[in-house]
Amino acid sequence: MADKIKSWLLNNLDLVFSVLRWFKPNLVIKGQALITCFDDVQEVLSRNDVFHVPYAEKMEKVTNGSNFFLGMQETPTYTRDVSNMRLTVRRDDIPDKIVPFIEKTSEELLSKSSGRIDIVHELTRVVPTALVGEYFGAPGWDQNEFTDAATSLFAYLFYPDDPALEKAALKVATTVREYLDQTIADRKRQRGGCDDVLERCLILQDSNLPGMSDLDIRNNLIGLITGAIPTTSKCAADVLNYLLDNPDLLAEAQTAALSNNNPLIYRYVLETLRLKPFAAGIQRICVEDYIVAKGTLRRAKIPKGTNVLAATQSAMMDHRKINQAKTFRLDRPDYHYMHFGYSLHSCFGKYINAVQIPGIVKSVLKQPGLRRAPGDAGIMTNSGPGPFPTHLVLEFDQ
């Protein structure tokens, strides 16, 4: 019975969050806290000194001893590592390197499909993995296995504890570490052949920049790869699946795609993911007694040691901030969206994802006669570690 109740709650989160926002917006019980309102979610995520990220222990297991900046507090090491990687992962690359690669790769994959494609297995998983190879300098030992590895690591790091998942993730983490160690060693023997993130890291290493040892480079690449592949794949597939369920929106989005209106396609992505979000929220640990929403009727004391879920899914549906929250609208301000988190630990790759997800979606929307494949093939399935899409077959005219 407990499992059935849990399953029902997880499958009806919008309803659960809606009820909580009205009657108990900040629920604290038995060492757990659920924060559901827009302002309160942002309050929790902005109080970095009170609400700590909980990922350090798992990160250290994945890297075999070291943390990655996503699992750090705002320490000198955090500032150093983020600053170093921003020198190598540059926003200036987006129009000249990243966008053309995404568009070209997506179009080539679709052109080879003969009008029928499993967009998850043959497109949304493939494009971000290919970008990791081209732009980061780590194509993986096998494209499919590399994608599975990133997905397994992501699920282990960011989803609830599961002994079986941990065992599988730590096994694949060893393979990822060995692969990246070898990739770095191979590149050091043959330098200057390309301008990618790995080469830029080694240039910084040549200048004796602190935090750019081979081990540092490897650990930063593990973190970036883990965050880059499964998130992009899931979001792109979820957006397409939602648009296909809404023919009027699909037709409008297709018109925007055919005119290469990239900013408008981005708005479709943002609003779809608000209504069908990637995840329910972001985890934090409260390290001192704290009163959230102080001075309001929502105020709640969160004791030291409480595990906190800042429910971004709920926040983006909060009627106090979001007008006509249940309505699909393209005119909402960017600050209404928390797809990339908020404050200190907002997504490092958000500027890449902001073009990569719409780029993949646009390539599919451009196809004439776009439709689901008949039968079960045209229904999106989810399985594996975490709720990640595995298959969705679409057809189009060629």
The tens digit of pLDDT for each residue in 155-200 reads 999 988 889 999 999 999 999 999 999 999 999 999 988 999 999 9
Banded model confidence at residue 383, pLDDT cuts 50, 70, 90: confident
Computed from CA positions of residues 130, 347, 311, 314, in that sequence, does the dihedral angle turn out positive or negative?
negative
Work out the end-to-end distance of the chain between its first and last CA atoms, rounded to an integer number of angstroms: 50
Higher pLDDT residue, 193 or 108? 108
pTM > 0.75: yes
Name the nearest CA neighbour of 115 among 375, 379, 390, 367. 367
Q: What is the pLDDT of residues 312-322, one digit of tens each?
A: 999 999 999 99
Do residues 236 and 124 touch, judged by C-beta distance below 8 A? yes
Q: What is the pLDDT of residues 26-47, one digit of tens each?
A: 999 999 999 999 999 999 999 9
What CATH number has the domain spanning 2-395? Answer: 1.10.630.10
Q: What is the pLDDT of residues 48-98, one digit of tens each?
A: 999 999 999 999 999 999 999 989 999 999 999 999 999 999 999 999 999
Please give the Cα distance from 280 to 311 (Å, whole number): 6
What residue spans define the domains of the chain?
Answer: 2-395
What's the confidence (pLDDT) of residue 141?
A: 96
Banded model confidence at residue 3, pLDDT cuts 50, 70, 90: low
Please give the Cα distance from 151 to 234 (Å, whole number): 10
Cβ burial, residue 75 (10 Å; 0-12/13-18/19+): exposed
Region 252-260 average pLDDT: 98
